């Protein structure tokens, strides 16, 4: 049994309440056992490791609801020349960047397998807590079908990573079962084309309503959520009607979609940073972005930002997610600044990356806020994020990161 006391800081606990100055957080092993004004926290008689926050700002560990830890840029040529084992070694450094940015929990939206998750849980490597989807479901010729019209299929395949391509209700049912057998804790579905797809465009709907109903049914037998990559309107509507938990990207969301999402309490993960960076790369003629995705990247970003503002104003439940892996890992909390730009105040943006993100993952009883009984995940920020939310996007301002009661970054 070990104790850590973090004191002399301003507490922003993730619930949206008034910040508490001169606050303290008392940790026993991996759990928060007391939190609040310093004078209200009773210090045990046992040895206590005391961390002086030096007047800085104590927040919950952030949650990124959309990452791809196993890749960094989705370069298609990379999959041809990279030995399979190198993906796993490279993921170690990406996970460290993620932690250094202040993100202690991620939902991996495709490619990370159960071995990566177990390596972190067993302490073999250091990384964020994960909720994994293993392999996204895609139709033939869809957003996660990497077969090129040259005849080459450049998607890595190996035991523990089943093929998610399926067509028709029975193929889809079997694919979901294989992915769950591989250890998936959540099911990812490509219900539209993608911006960086070789074989489709982002507006195209993918999977029939019947197929989507089968996916949700099968996942429901194991009490697993389903979340949907969706750019185009029809695919988004199909996903919400099927009962999926969240929409990723949501580019072409309109009033009809918003009404459905509000009625179904569907979450929205905008991945604003990914849309911004894809557009920047597309406008740069020297970048390596494929020519067939340049027009989509430029065109869709403007539509996306306008519609995210509309969704926020309407009250859709928005969650922080970045699509890191498509964009560089370690820039995760820049997303909070983009949430601010679509209309959120700084506290709302923080909640989108903490309390609400935990709720969207179904882990609100464990993480997302600094409260007694929760896992001890927290960050200490050099600057006041309520005055400058964009400051959190600079990892140099994240002075300390604690995950499960263990200090994994310390610049104090």
Give the residue numbers annotated as catalytic, written as ranges.
Answer: 188, 323
Please give the Cα distance from 35 to 3 (Å, whole number).
13
- HEC profile of the chain: CCEEEEEEEEECCCCCCCCEEEEEEEEECCEEEEEEEHHHCCCCCCCEEEEECCCCEEEECEEEEEECCCCCCCCHHHHHHCCHHHHHHHHHHHHHHHHHCCEEEEEECCCCCHHHHHHHHCCCCCCCEEEECCCCEECCCCCCCCECCCCCECCCCECCECCCECCCHHHHHHHHHHHHHCCCCCEEEECECCCCCCCCCCCCECCCHHHHHHHHHHHHHCCCCEEEEECCHHHHHHHHHHCCCEEEECCCCCHHHHHHHHHHCCEEECCHHHHHHHHHHHHCCCCCCCHHHHHHHHHHHHHHHHHHHHHHHHCCEECCCCCECCECCCCCCHHHHHHHHCCCCHHHHHHHCCHHHHHHHCCCCCCCCCCCCCECCEEEECCCCCCCHHHHHCHHHEEEEEECCEEEEECC
CB-based contact 215:165 (threshold 8 Å): no
Q: Two tokens at 75?
A: 């370069």
CB-based contact 92:113 (threshold 8 Å): no
User: Measured at the alpha carbon of residue 120, what is the angle toward residues 360 and 78, in degrees to the nearest 5?
Assistant: 85
């Amino acid at each position: 049994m070990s104790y850590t006391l973090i004191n002399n800081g301003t507490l922003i606990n993730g619930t949206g309440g008034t910040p508490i100055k001169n606050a303290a957080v008392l940790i026993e092993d991996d759990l928060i056992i007391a939190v609040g004004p310093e004078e209200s926290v009773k210090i045990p008689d046992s040895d206590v490791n005391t961390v002086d926050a030096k007047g800085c700002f104590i927040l919950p560990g952030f949650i990124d609801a959309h990452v791809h830890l196993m890749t960094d840029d989705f370069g298609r040529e990379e999959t041809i020349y990279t030995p399979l084992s190198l993906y796993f070694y490279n993921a170690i450094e990406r996970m460290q960047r993620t932690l250094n940015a202040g993100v202690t929990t991620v939902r991996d939206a495709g490619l990370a397998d159960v071995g990566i998750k177990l390596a972190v849980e067993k302490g073999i490597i250091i990384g964020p807590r994960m909720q994994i989807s293993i392999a996204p479901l895609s139709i033939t010729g869809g957003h996660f079908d990497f077969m090129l019209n040259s005849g080459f299929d450049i998607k890595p395949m190996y035991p523990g990573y089943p093929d998610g391509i399926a067509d028709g209700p029975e193929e889809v049912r079997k694919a979901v079962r294989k992915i769950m057998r591989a250890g998936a804790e959540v099911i990812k579905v490509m219900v539209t084309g993608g911006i960086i797809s070789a074989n489709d465009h982002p507006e195209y709907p993918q999977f029939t309503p019947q197929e989507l109903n089968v996916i949700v049914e099968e996942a429901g037998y194991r009490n697993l959520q389903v979340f949907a990559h969706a750019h185009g309107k029809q695919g988004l509507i199909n996903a919400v009607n099927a009962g999926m938990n969240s929409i990723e990207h949501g580019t072409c969301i309109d009033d009809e979609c918003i009404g459905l999402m509000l009625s179904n309490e569907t979450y929205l993960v905008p991945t604003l940073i990914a849309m911004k960076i894809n557009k920047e790369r597309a406008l740069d003629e020297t970048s390596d972005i494929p020519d067939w995705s340049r027009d989509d990247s430029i065109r869709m970003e403007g539509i996306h930002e306008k519609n995210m503002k509309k969704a926020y104003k309407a009250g859709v439940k928005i969650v922080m997610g970045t699509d890191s892996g498509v964009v560089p890992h370690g820039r995760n909390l820049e997303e909070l600044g983009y949430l601010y730009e679509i209309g959120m105040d700084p506290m709302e943006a923080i909640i989108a990356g903490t309390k609400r993100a935990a709720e969207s993952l179904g882990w609100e009883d464990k993480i997302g806020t600094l409260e007694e009984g929760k896992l001890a995940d927290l960050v200490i920020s050099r600057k006041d994020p309520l005055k400058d939310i964009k400051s959190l996007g600079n990892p140099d301002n994240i002075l300390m990161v604690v995950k499960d009661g263990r200090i994994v970054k310390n610049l104090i």
